[in-house]
Amino acid sequence: MNPVKNINRLLIANRGEIAARIIRTCQKLGIESVLASSQADLDSLPARLADQVINIGPPPSLQSYLNVEAVIKAAVQVKADAIHPGYGFLSENAALAKASEKAGIIFIGPTIEQLDAIGDKLKARENALAAALPLVPGGAVADAGEAEKLAAEIGYPVLIKAVGGGGGRGMQVVHDESTLAASMTLARAEAENAFNDERLYLECFVERGRHVEVQVLGDGDNIIHLGTRDCSIQRRYQKLVEEAPAPDLDPALREHMENAAVAFAKHLRYRGAGTVEFLVDTQRASFYFLEMNARIQVEHPVTEEITGLDLIAQQIRIAEGRPLGMSQEEVCFNGHAIECRLNAEDCMNNFQPSPGTVSAAQFPAGPGIRIDSHIETGSVVPPYYDSLLGKLIVWGEDRATAMSLLKKALEHCQIDGIENNIILHRAIMASEEFTQGAVDSLFLNKLLETVSLEKTTNG
């Protein structure tokens, strides 16, 4: 364990709702917050909440939030003790971690070696195998010829994935050999553009699967899990609804997954907050390792709601060099939480992004309701970044109670002036299939074929 070093001033190298979220924990802990902001976000809510704001570049991400040199320069200029990268952007970037270490600044995240081991999806698979985790059949493919050979061995459909990242970029589902070569070309180009890494690998595509993940915390020596989350409702590989704990899981399977996640993190001697993601094959009642995300997740609030823990505060504590301070037996799980991601997108126009000015924003309030957002009346949603406006999170004593509260909360949620997906969430919550219990990855596509999504704004 490294010697303890107090963090008194924290540079937040991110934007939007996660920046506001980190600032609020800094306020609670008495830590001075400095927001590293692009020109587009200088008038945002996080900029007003932060103790200090520093401009790190023009609106395009490559010139600001993805610019390692600009982030380090800003941290040095404001004499920050540490950098919190949030999620997305540079959050899992080993180059930022290395540059931070060189500058004598704490990087709030895992070690450089762990980032290298996890960020490269092939290395992650190798480490998962070494930790005795079950893997989806597949492997690296250098060209279409290798892909055709491997696909023939594991069977169609197959999923092409980018080695250097995730979030749906560089991913292509292939149902037969006739489209494999073209799909490889598309995936390679997208991977190169998104991650500057054109390497691909191929996996068996489980059509009726659930996306279940396990939150872990570790200080390098002590590793614990904070239970499961179900993130199966996705559109274009982007999560829309998350809940904790994952519903309708066989208790033995749940325990096996939680133990597997801890085993993987222990194999890495993991430090910080991380999420081990699994694919649950609902037809075979089995699961496979997908990847590990070495950062805070968008969906972390549902875990906070059922454990009572502040995961940002835990990240900061671990980064300061302090021991985790709790054992697995001391983690208490209580109730059920569900999160809806509110996005600026046009449900009537193939979910195209909808930047613009928010003419009115109304969010519900009350016991069991939490809003994590950077949006308010008058906020400008720029066209340069992710479309996430915020998250509506509810907690109840059980899943039925949480769902009932969420349905009511969505009726009192309104964002005008830009198109948004609130109406889609209302349709999901009204679905009898979702109400009954866990759904798989095919649920949303089936729902979109049967419901009509009317316009969501007056603006």
Degrees to nearest 5, angle at CA 273 with 328 and 101:
130
Torsion sign, CA atoms 106, 53, 299, 160: negative
Give the fold, CATH level 3, of 137-204: Dna Ligase; domain 1 (3.30.1490)
Look up residue 87 and give its two tokens.
């999620």
Q: Which two tokens stand for residue 393?
A: 């999170």
Question: Which residues, 6 or more positions from 420, have their beta carbon under 8 angstroms from its beta carbon?
Answer: 342, 343, 344, 345, 354, 389, 456, 457
Beta-bridged to residue 293, according to DSSP, are 275
pLDDT of residue 385: 95
d(CA 379, CA 381): 6
Q: State which H helix or E strand residue 160 sits in.
A: strand 158-162
DSSP 305-358: HHH---HHHHHHHHHTT------GGG----SEEEEEEEE-EETTTTTEE--EE-
Q: Which pLDDT score, from 0 to 100, does residue 2 have?
A: 67
Q: What pLDDT does residue 120 have?
A: 83
How many Cβ atoms are within 10 Å of 383's Cβ, its own excluded?
Answer: 12
How many CA atoms within 13 Å lie on the side-chain side of 244?
24
Residues 6+ apart with CB under 8 A from 78: 9, 11, 34, 52, 54
SS3 348: coil
**Class of domain 9-108 (CATH, top level):** alpha beta
Single out the residue of 183, 107, 171 nearest to residue 144, CA to CA: 183
In this prediction the pTM is: 0.92
- Per-residue DSSP letter, 245: S
Residue 1 structure tokens: 């364990």
Backbone angles phi, psi at 275, to 5 degrees: -130, 125
d(CA 94, CA 252): 36
Output the CATH code of domain 209-450: 3.30.470.20
Supply the DSSP string of 420-452, one letter for each residue.
-SHHHHHHHHH-HHHHHS---TTHHHHHHHH--
pLDDT above 90 as % of the chain = 86
| Tokens, residue 300 | 């972390």
Domain boundaries, the chain: 9-108, 137-204, 209-450
Q: What is the pLDDT of residue 163?
A: 86
Q: Name residues of the chain where pLDDT drops below 70.
A: 1-2, 165-167, 454-459
Rounded Cα gap, residues 246 and 238, in angstroms: 18
Cα separations (Å) of 428 from 7, 347, 407? 42, 13, 10
H helix runs in 241-398, sequence order: 251-268, 300-307, 311-319
pLDDT reported for residue 456:
41
Which residues are designated catalytic?
295
Measured N-to-C along each axis, helices 399-411 and 422-430 cross at an angle, to the nearest 10 degrees, of 140
The answer to whether residues 293 and 275 touch, using CB atoms and an 8 Å cutoff, is: yes
pLDDT, residue 167, reads 64
Of 312, 337, 230, 223, give the one whose Cα is nearest residue 271. Answer: 223
Place of tokens 């970029």: 169
